[in-house]
Amino acid sequence: MPPHEEFLAQLRAIAGPAYVLTDRRDMAGYLSEPRDLYRDGQAICVVRPGSREEVSAILALCQSTRTAVVPQGGNTGLVGGQTPLSDGASIVLSLTRMNALRELDLVSNTMTVEAGMTLLQAQEAASQAGRLFPLSLAAEGSCTIGGNLATNAGGTAVIAFGTARDLVNGLEVVLADGRVLSNLSKLRKDNTGYDLKHLFMGSEGTLGIITAAVLKLYPKPRAVETAFVALASPEAALSLLTRAKEHFGNAIRAFELLPRIALEIVLRHRGSQRDPFGQPHAWYVLLEVTSQAEEGLDELLFAFLEAATEEGLIEDATVATSLDQAKKLWDIRESLPDLSKLEGGSIKHDISVPVGSVAAFIAETTPAVLAAIPGARPVPFGHVGDGNIHYNVSQPIGADKAAFLARWDELNTLVHGIAAKYEGSISAEHGIGQLKRHLLAEVKDPVALDTMRAIKAALDPLGILNPGKVL
């Protein structure tokens, strides 16, 4: 009998023959990831279960055969956490068929969804019911709720609502041996021992497979205002953020920082975009505020911007007067990661520092990067409202891409070292995966690492869940 044939037959009996993929062409889309950093992934097969019961049976089978399992949602992760290793000893468990809305409870303000539902589908289901599910990412049309929770996704609304783990009341998780941990609780207050759901959110599928979640919903805003603000420096942006919090309180839904080079990249490669201002400025902030009142928010925003101008905090500002204009402003921010690829090689960093240290971090890192690689083009941007900066570095114009990318580890060491100086993190929202696994031991407290390993050994003693990731 060919290798794995009996194992494959058992998988087909569980999930159905159509949902066990073994042809390399059918599997190709599951074996590499968006940045193409991990493109040599191999797998026995891709299995696409349709229910919690099927996931349970598959994991029980894999436990008994000591077969590794790589869980995958929308395959939008940026650190290789969802990509199989090159040894071909694992299966990919794709949860995209499990995309049902199980329940919508408007009194409890919760929505119970399966892990394969895309983030956009979850947002739309909430919106149709007059509610808001606030998690928002550039990849929301493809990324899945299970993947969002497994990586504790961040996004643009963290300043107002927190990360993915802050948006969950309960989880359903299949453990390595196939047992189901069913805790789909709607309760906001439950003090009965360990809060187990937080073990699995952010664990990148190394402790269990999330199959469903109870998500928190919020009132749908009746008014949304979006402004694009020009200013002189990150220091000015932090001052503006402080004033905005005093003026709007919790109504700030996004506060995104962009340097001039980021806008230039978008203008260069997005023909439909225009510079929002008549002259260039060194830095920009994309500010969005919301209100439950239908009227008056625009007046509050204009008053805030006028006062900020008089104080000298901002140099110019434009406010969207339509939904289309607001989408146009957001496109500047959301298209940047993809359009940056057209600039050649880019060495990326997903760091966070205390919000008050963002300006100092950028001010120290940029000259250090330029000293290390003359002509390099730093593009620090992101969620300054929560301290998460994507400190990406594009290659010098005309440089050899491969030679530039070969300095990835060197530049990581430099940027992460400065982040550590400010008591920051090497991974704010993208996770550890394969990309940063070797760095974790260098930055994590040894006792914390020992605790993580003890939890992994207790929940996955045979090490079949997403091996080679995180730890």
The sheet with strand 101-105 has its strands ordered as 101-105, 110-114, 209-216, 168-174, 180-183
DSSP code string of 53-108 = HHHHHHHHHHHHHT-EEEEESSS--SSSTTS--TT--EEEEE-TT---EEEEETTT
Sorted by where each begins, the domain ranges of the chain are 101-219, 223-337, 344-430
> What is the CATH T-level fold of the domain 344-430, as seen in this structure?
Alpha-Beta Plaits (3.30.70)
Correct CATH for 101-219 of 3.30.1490.190, 3.10.620.30, 3.40.30.10, 3.30.465.10:
3.30.465.10
The pLDDT tens digits for 347-396 are 999 999 999 999 999 999 999 999 999 999 999 999 999 999 999 999 99
The pLDDT tens digits for 18-57 are 999 999 999 999 998 888 788 889 999 999 999 999 999 9
DSSP code string of 409-471 = HHHHHHHHHHHHHTT-BSBSSS--TTTTHHHHHHHS-HHHHHHHHHHHHHH-TT--BSTTS--
pTM: 0.93
> What is the CATH T-level fold of the domain 223-337, as seen in this structure?
Alpha-Beta Plaits (3.30.70)
**pLDDT for position 2:** 53
223-337 and 344-430 share one fold: yes
Direct distance between the N- and C-terminal alpha carbons of the chain, in angstroms, rounded to an integer: 35
Q: Positive or negative CA dihedral for 119, 120, 124, 130?
A: positive
On whether the CB atoms of residues 287 and 324 are closer than 8 A, the answer is no
List the chain residues with pLDDT less than 70. Answer: 1-3
Percent of the chain with pLDDT over 70: 99
**pLDDT for position 36:** 78
**pLDDT for position 125:** 98
